[in-house]
A and B are shown apart, each in its own frame.
Chain A
Amino acid sequence: MKTDELARLLARGPIAVPPGAVARRQALALGAGGLAAFGLMLGLLGVNPDLRAATGLAGFWTKVLFAAALCGAGTLAMARLARPGASLGGAPAGIALALVLMASLAAAQWLAAEPEARRALVFGSTWAACPWWIALLSAPLGTALTWAMRGLAPTRLRLAGTAVGFLAGATAALVYCLHCPEMAAPFVALWYVMGIALPTVVGTLLGPRLLRW
């Protein structure tokens, strides 16, 4: 087939694309994966029985806001990396800012606490499970977001895998907030971040293999 014939073939028939196709696909994956993660959390962990009381605490909303900010920046990063030739925009700066603010708050709480109370601020009572649960909840999200990314056009595959893993982890952390009984900033700054880092590393490793097109 000659190249001109190919151009003609490609141009005939159904060619229209509704605007917003990238955002729709990403939203669909985020919604489906988020719902599955929520179901996993309900089935395996259950909602924090003290959630109603927790919603009156600044610590709860700090945690939710932190995870939500990382979700937002991760969504932007993924959307940019799904488009050939697009720059990352403000996504890395947004992620860095959220991390720095959380770490500063954690340091402030830790410094302000009595020395004998510091251990509890860092480890709480669930530190050993927290990162693993976040990583587990990120599995359906990672699967759905990988599906979405495979239907788009990442040209920097490793970085695209990083973004998919990071967004899966951040969204899983947001879901995990509904179960998690911990309210201390040092706990969140350490174990939540570790839980998000696990799928981020997995995504970085799998990106070049899974996202080729």
Chain B
Amino acid sequence: MNERIPTEGPASAREARLRAQLLSGLAGRAADYEQFLREMSAHLRAFLRRRLARHPDDVEDLVQETLLALHNQRHTYDPAQPLTAWAQAIARYKLVDWLRRRGGRQDVALDLDDGYELLLAVDDEAAEARRDLGLLLARLPDGQRRPIQLTKLEGLSVSEASAAIGMSESAIKVAVHRGLKALARLIREEP
């Protein structure tokens, strides 16, 4: 399957750059990782918008859900594997899952999924999301919400957050991870 991944042209340069950013992020460098997520969201938007032509108002929600999925599942990326294959499989999975939750696969151009095209198109025009993830975050239990708030919204380091709320550093990391997984579940359980 990998031979269908473009080996030259703009997509392959993007593949190399985004892959380097992701690997840097997995090693803990926030700036590269944020750049990865931002660029990826533009590719996801283009990818999903093409497939949800009849649901334009839902595209941004699904972009965000997929971005969260890329983050929560980032430990499953194998550096020996093309980034495009990994990210597109997640995007496609989240798209199909979203459709199933809405009770049908009609109206959607899933047949566009022959090749690895995720990185070919860019769409920077973020629409307003219909669902506010901030509100969903607020519904998490305190033990998860506080660590996320301190480290991810207020920008405290893990050790500062640990001192602030009296949890061990590893407990903070676990709580952040579980909290974001719980956030993904809350999204899926929404009506």
Binding site for B on A (CB under 8 A): 1-4, 6-17, 19, 21-22, 82-87, 152-153, 155, 212-213
Contacts and interface: CB of A to CB of B under 8 A. Distances in A.
A84 B89 contact: yes
B152 A13 contact: yes
A83 B76 contact: yes
Interface in B1-59: 1-2, 25-28, 30-31, 33-34, 37-38, 41, 45
Contacts of A82: 76
A153 B90 CA distance: 8
B172 A7 contact: no
Most chain A CB within 10 A, of B67, B93, B128, is at: B93
A17 to B, nearest CB: 5
A2 B129 contact: yes
Contact of B93 (A9, A17, A84): A84
B188 to A, nearest CB: 8
Most chain B CB within 10 A, of A2, A9, A82, is at: A9
A148 to B, nearest CB: 12
Chain B interface, >50% SS class = helix
Q: Assign chain B's interface to a size class.
A: 35 or more
B78 interface: yes
A21 B173 CA distance: 15
A14 B173 contact: yes
Nearest to B84: A85
Interface string B114-151: 00000000000010110011100000000000001001
Contacts of A12: 30, 34, 151-153, 155
A84 B152 contact: no
B172 A6 contact: no
A16 B28 contact: yes
Interface of B: 1-2, 25-28, 30-31, 33-34, 37-38, 41, 45, 60, 63-64, 67-69, 71, 73-79, 81-82, 84-90, 92-93, 97, 126, 128-129, 132-134, 148, 151-153, 155-156, 158, 161, 172-173, 176-177, 180, 184, 188
A17 B86 CA distance: 17
13 contacts: A3-B63, A6-B37, A9-B152, A10-B67, A12-B34, A12-B152, A85-B81, A85-B86, A85-B87, A85-B88, A153-B93, A155-B93, A213-B184
Contact of B68 (A6, A15, A87, A155): A6
Contact of A13 (B73, B78, B128, B176): B176
Contact of A9 (B60, B79, B153, B158): B153
A6 B34 CA distance: 9
A7 B67 CA distance: 8
Nearest to A10: B71
B151 A3 contact: no
Given A14-B172, A15-B74, A213-B184, 17 more contacts: A2-B126, A6-B64, A10-B68, A12-B30, A13-B148, A15-B25, A15-B26, A15-B30, A83-B77, A83-B78, A84-B76, A84-B85, A84-B89, A84-B90, A85-B82, A86-B86, A155-B89
Contacts of A86: 78, 81, 85-86
B114 to A, nearest CB: 14
A3 B132 CA distance: 10
A4 B69 CA distance: 15
B59 to A, nearest CB: 10
Given A12-B155, A83-B81, A7 B133 contact: no
A17 B74 contact: yes
A2 B71 CA distance: 16
A7 B26 contact: no
A3 B75 contact: no
A167 B123 CA distance: 42
B38 A4 contact: yes
